[in-house]
A and B are shown apart, each in its own frame.
Chain A
Amino acid sequence: MKYQSQAVAKPYFIAAIGLFLGQILFGLIMGLQYVVGDYLFPAIPFNVARMVHTNLLIVWLLFGFMGAAYYLIPEEAERELFSPKLALAMFWIFLVAGAATILGYLLVPYATLAEMTGNNILATMGREFLEQPLPTKVGIVIVALAMLFNLSMTVLKGRKTAINLVLLLGLWGLAIFFLFSFYNPANLVKDKFYWWWVVHLWVEGVWELIMGAMLAFVLIKVTGVDREVIEKWLYIIIAMALISGLIGTGHHYYWIGTPEYWQWWGSVFSAMEPIPFFMMTLFAFNMVNRRRREHPNQAAVLWALGTGVMAFLGAGVWGFLHTLAPVNFYTHGSQITAAHGHMAFYGAYALVVLTMISYTMPILRGREANSRKAQVVEMWAFWLMTIAMVFITLFLTAAGILQIWLQRIAAEPMGFMAAQDQVALFYWMREITGLVFFTGLVLYIVSFFIKGEEARAS
């Protein structure tokens, strides 16, 4: 690597992968609980497994974004990171706080955890994805601010490229919108309205800036295409992301007590949200087609292309399927939502982090690319996880359609629990496919330990 301080990215990436493994283990537990309802009850009730699963997802992705930033920004800014020590300190603080939080979820009844951690000072616990105790939330803000300070100082004193500015903007946005997690009004409608200012404006907003910058960086490195070309397309892509996604927030405001004009505004704008993802796919394939070199890390190229396609399918297509208000009226809060959520998160964010790790890890370990053998195993891991995710999504979509038909459309509507029994077959198939996904992830981890002669550019 060009700058010694880029090495701080390595622990971040290792932690990310470890937490990803934990996330999937708990996902498998939940998947089994869907069909064997009392599995692990009362030791790990479903809601506890779920908060571990979702919180691990968010935290491993954050570790991934931070690691990516610590690698990418010094290289783009053409100078060492402002303070590698600060980055390392924040790594340990985040990891320990995260581990403590997960242990808290598992070992302590949630209401007790709330009492122990000062929820009565400011009640921020108990909302989806924001289950963290107050001290953890404060810790996240501190770690984020330290990271932003570190990265901003590096860019301020170095070269300012479109890529590092867009990444920085995305990360600042991530931190600022997270502050809404501290606002929890008693008014349920306002509670839900502003909750989406964290969640939607993250995953359908500033996170797309982060993803775009990371993808652009890897594409420049593995294709050798001119920076000017890649950067101007990056700006158009993220412009479309915010133009569609900001008012697109309205697709969460159809049925929660907010005014009904959101059904129009949310539908029209959110229908456009696939556009930036479609552009990212074209972007990735086009740049690879126009490449000026054959990079020895072909696995990284595969992950990059995969990110474009799966993000478009999961976030773009599956998102579009249930975004229009007349459709959403029937699909809101069903397995369709779960189907979209899984493929979107995997396709856009898990894959872009794995793309970054695939490109940078060999360099962090002292070579331009891993051996042929290791790359082949890595690519197998990509295909196993990706195909498995496609099928998980298809099975949940089928479950959702049947659920909606039985529970919300049929002349004699069925109750929730009875409808769940009817779709159990799809849940079994999802669980088996989940095991395939897990196998892929294990193979991915194995690929890091496969030795052999470094692959050279052909």
Chain B
Amino acid sequence: MSSAFTKSAARNIFYGGAVFFFLLLVGLSFDTMQTLPKRDNRENLSESAIRGKHIWETRNCIGCHTLLGEGAYFAPELGNVYTRRGPEFIKAWIQSQPTGVPGRRQMPNFNLTDAQLNDLVEFFKYTAGIDTAKWPPNVEG
């Protein structure tokens, strides 16, 4: 028997393969969700950190920065900024933007209140505690 190559066989491979691998993805995702509690630092996802995430989103910080390596590449990685700079530096830095240095990349001032700054710092602290398999390679991000 020589090998034919029919459209219907190709079509069946496509549908079969797609269903097979989608089911596998769902299965692995299910296992991932079961495993997350040991890795995602949710015990430190306080109300304050949740408010901080909301501030992170509504000021579109990801539009310039990366968080765990995802986002924009204009400004530093902030997933580990809590470790790199500490809470007081972070608050002072945000409050003193923009630097106004000619030619330097500028960050807006978001006029955040003290409470909001503290929430944002809590969010960074929570993020820094997530088990990212030792990423980034060093403290600079």
A residues sitting closer than 8 Å to B (CB atoms) are: 33-34, 36-38, 41-42, 45-48, 50-51, 110-111, 114, 119, 123, 125-128, 131, 162, 184, 186-190, 192-193, 228, 231-233, 235-236, 238-239, 242-243, 246-247, 249-250, 253-260, 262-263, 265, 329-330, 332-335, 337-338, 407-409, 413-417, 420
B90: CB under 8 A from chain A? Answer: no
Asked if A258 meets B32 with Cβ closer than 8 Å, knowing A162-B11, A187-B42, the reply is: yes
Please give me the residue from chain A that is nearest to B50 by CB atom. A186
| Smallest Cβ-Cβ distance to B68: which chain A residue | A256
Shortest C-beta distance, A454 to chain B (Å), equals 35
Q: For the side of the interface on B, what is the size category? A: 35 or more
The answer to whether A46 touches B63 (Cβ under 8 A) is yes
Q: Which of A114, A330, A338, A415 contacts B140 (CB 8 A)?
A: A415
With an 8 A cutoff between CB atoms, is B113 at the interface? no
> What residues on A are CB-neighbors of B132 within 8 Å?
255-257
| Cβ–Cβ contact A188 & B130, under 8 A | yes
**With A111-B110, A258-B39, A415-B140 already in contact, 12 other A-B pairs whose C-beta atoms are closer than 8 Å:** A34-B105, A37-B105, A46-B106, A50-B72, A232-B11, A243-B21, A254-B135, A258-B35, A258-B36, A262-B28, A333-B73, A407-B138
Which one, B10, B105, B130, contacts A189 given CB within 8 A? B130
Residue with the highest number of chain A CB atoms closer than 10 Å, among B63, B72, B77: B63
| Contact partners of B86 in chain A: CB under 8 A | none
Candidate in B18, B57, B60, B69 with the most chain A CB atoms within 10 angstroms: B60
Decide: A186 near B45, CB < 8 A? Known: A246-B22, A265-B28, A333-B77: yes
The CA of A131 and the CA of B141, in the complex, are separated in Å by: 24
Name the residue on B nearest A325 (C-beta).
B133
List the 7 closest A-B pairs by CB distance, nearest first: A47-B63, A126-B57, A333-B69, A37-B105, A255-B135, A235-B10, A416-B76
Report yes or no: A128 in contact with B130, Cβ–Cβ below 8 A: no
Who on chain B is nearest to A229 by CB? B7
Q: Contact: B13 with A110, CB < 8 Å? A: no
Q: Pick the residue among A231, A338, A413 that contacts B73 (CB under 8 A).
A: A338
Known: A232-B7, A333-B73. A186 touches B64 (CB 8 A): no
Nearest-neighbour CB distance to chain B for A332, whole angstroms, equals 4
**B21 in contact with A257 (CB, 8 Å):** no
Q: In the complex, A106→B61 CA distance in Å? A: 16
User: Given A38-B106, A125-B57 in contact, is the A408-B13 Cβ separation under 8 Å?
Assistant: no
Q: Are A38 and B104 in contact (CB under 8 A)?
A: yes
Instruction: Please name all residues of chain A whose beta carbon is closer than 8 Å to the beta carbon of B39 when the two chains form the complex.
Output: 189, 257-259
B118 lies within 8 A of chain A by Cβ: no
- Report chain B residues within 8 Å CB of A333: 66, 68-71, 73, 77, 136, 141
1/0 per residue, CB under 8 A from A, across B46-69: the answer is 000010011011111111101111
Q: What's the least CB distance linking A43 to chain B, in Å?
A: 11
Q: A126-B60, A188-B40, A260-B133 are in contact. Are A239 and B10 (CB under 8 A)?
A: yes
Q: A46-B74, A333-B70 are in contact. Are A417 and B105 (CB under 8 A)?
A: yes
Does B31 belong to the interface (CB within 8 Å)? yes
Hey, which bits of chain B sit against chain A, CB under 8 A? 5-7, 10-11, 13-14, 17-18, 21-22, 24-25, 28-29, 31-33, 35-36, 39-42, 45, 50, 53-54, 56-64, 66-77, 98, 100-108, 110, 126-127, 130-133, 135-141
A239 and B21 CA atoms in complex are apart in Å by 10
Contact indicator B127/A188 (Cβ below 8 Å):
yes
* A258–B41 CA distance with the chains assembled, in angstroms: 11
Interchain nearest-CB distance for B88 vs A (Å):
19
Question: Which residue of chain A lies nearest to B21 when distances are taken between CB atoms in the complex?
Answer: A246
User: How many angstroms between the C-alpha atoms of A38 and B97 in the bound complex?
Assistant: 13
Contact, CB under 8 Å: B73 / A257: no
Tell whether, in the assembled complex, residue A110 and residue B21 are in contact, meaning their CB atoms are under 8 Å apart. Answer: no
- Some 10 contacts from A to B, beta carbons below 8 A apart, are A38-B102, A42-B98, A47-B74, A131-B60, A232-B6, A239-B14, A256-B68, A256-B70, A259-B31, A415-B76
By the criterion CB–CB under 8 Å, are A47 and B57 in contact?
Answer: no
Chain A residue at smallest Cβ distance from B33: A190
Q: Nearest Cβ distance between residue A308 and chain B, in whole angstroms?
A: 19
B25 touches A247 (CB 8 A): yes
Residue of B nearest to A131 (CB): B60
Contact in complex: B56, A126 (CB < 8 Å) = yes
A187: chain B residues at CB < 8 Å are 36, 40, 42, 45
Q: Is the CB–CB distance between A238 and B14 below 8 Å?
A: yes
Closest A residue to B25 using CB positions: A246
**Given contacts A257-B132, A332-B135, A416-B76, are A242 and B18 in contact (CB under 8 A)?**
yes
Residue of B28, B131, B141 ringed by the most chain A CB atoms within 10 A: B28
| A37-B104, A47-B64, A257-B68 given; A409·B14 CB < 8 A | no
Please indicate the chain B residues that have their CB under 8 angstroms from the CB of A246 in the complex: 18, 21-22, 24-25
What's the nearest-Cβ distance from chain B to residue A288, in Å? 20
Residues of B contacting A416 in the complex (Cβ-Cβ under 8 angstroms): 75-77, 140-141
Chain A proximity of B100: nearest CB distance (Å): 8
